[in-house]
Amino acid sequence: MAEKRVIDARGSFCPGPLMELIAGMKMAQVGDELEVLSSDKGSANDIPEWIHKAGHEHVGTREEAGVWHISVRKVK
Amino acid sequence: MAAKPISIIVVAGSRERLQMAAMIAAVGAVSGNPVTVFLSMNALQYFVKGDRTAAPPEGRFGELLDAKNAPPFRAMFEQAVTLGDAKIHPCSMAMDVMGLEPSALEPWLAEPLGLTKFLGDAADAQIWSF
């Protein structure tokens, strides 16, 4: 059954949130959804770029009170 | 389309240059690019096993990196290896000059390399120097 995990990378600067996501993706199973919390605006653009390049599903991005929530589903 | 290899030569000992070299290595490696790093001259000292000496800032931004929660360059180089299969080679000349054996360096470094081999491997790569 697909799991959902939150990776709290608030306070970390680029490329910290991306690297934390990738470490999480390595542990995840196909179908799992990971949500990265990032206070770094640059990462909010960079992470979807990586998701697209790596061939995973960008579920969505939203911003709440200066924190970006970037969700990705592991496809392969 | 196959990802183009990335080769990075690092000779600088400043915080900013080590940080950017590590960022390119890490992001390049986790993005599917084969990454090779060549550590030489003033950069090599920071990869002696257990060394946690702070690299001096070159300017204001280096001071900000220390003050903010920027990922440490050593950790990013190591992540390039563990998460992205990057190869981080110490320069054999620099090791000779500094009197270092491979066993004295961080265990996640690859084998020492000379310039001839590095340049041959970098022939078809995008090359970055710091």
pLDDT (0 to 100) of residue B85: 87
Q: Which residues of chain B make contact with A50, given a CB cutoff of 8 A?
A: 27, 30-31
pLDDT tens figures, B70-109? 889 999 999 999 999 899 999 999 999 999 999 999 999 9
Contact between B33 and B6 (Cβ < 8 Å): yes
pLDDT (0 to 100) of residue B66: 82
The letter for the amino acid at B29 is: A
Is A14 one of the catalytic residues?
yes
Residues of chain A with pLDDT under 70: none
Q: Is the pLDDT of residue B129 over 80?
A: yes
Best mutation target, B6, B16, B20, B27, to test chain A (most A CBs within 10 A): B27
B94 CB neighbour count, 10 Å cutoff: 19
pLDDT tens figures, B11-70? 999 999 999 999 999 999 999 999 999 999 999 999 999 999 999 999 999 999 988 878
Q: For residue B1, what pLDDT band results from cuts at 50, 70 and 90?
A: low
How would you class A50 by CB atoms within 10 Å of its CB: exposed for 0-12, middle for 13-18, buried for 19 or more?
A: buried
CATH entry 2.60.120.260 includes domain A4-73 = no
Q: How far is B30 from chain A (nearest CA, A)?
A: 8
Dihedral angle, C-alpha A21, B127, B50, A23, nearest 10 °: 10
The CA distance from B70 to A15, in Å, is 9
pLDDT (0 to 100) of residue B2: 66
Q: Is the pLDDT of residue B3 over 90?
A: no
B76 CB neighbour count, 10 Å cutoff: 24
Partner-chain residue, chosen from A11, A22, A23, that has the shortest CB–CB distance to B69: A11
pLDDT (0 to 100) of residue A1: 75
Q: Is the ipTM of this complex over 0.95?
A: no
The pTM score is 0.91
